[in-house]
Amino acid sequence: MLTFAGILKLKLGSTMDTKEYDDAGIKLIENTPQEILDLVIEANERLDGTWKTTEEDEKLQQRFKSLFKKGSPCYGFPSRLGSKFLRENRQLLE
C-alpha cells in the first residue's frame, strides 16, 4: 500500500489516467460505499454549518497538506480529505 508521500515520490499525485498507474504496476483500490457516504455526510454537514471538527482532524489535514511543497501544483490548496478517512487511514500519512 503506497502512502501519500510514496504516491508523490513516484510523481503520480496528479495522474488522471488509470493507464499511468497500470504502466507503473500499481493496482488502484476503489473507495468503499461507506467511505463515500462518510465523505458526503461530512460535506453536507460542512455546507449546513453543523460539522464539528476536532483538533485531531485538523492536525491530520495539516499533515496531509504539508506533503505538498512550495512550487508544487497542489501547494496551498483549500480542499480537504474526508476526516473519517484520514482518521482510519493515518498510516497513509507516514
Question: So what's the pLDDT on residue 42?
Answer: 97
Structural domain boundaries in the chain: 4-93
Residue-level length of the chain: 94
pLDDT value at 71 more than 90 = no
- DSSP, collapsed to helix, strand or coil, labels residue 46 as helix
Cell of 74: 497542489
pLDDT tens per residue across span 24-67: 888 989 999 999 999 999 999 999 999 999 999 999 999 999 99
For 17-34, the DSSP string reads: -HHHHHHTT----PPPHH
- Read off the pTM: 0.83
Q: Which residue has the higher pLDDT, 76 or 61?
A: 61
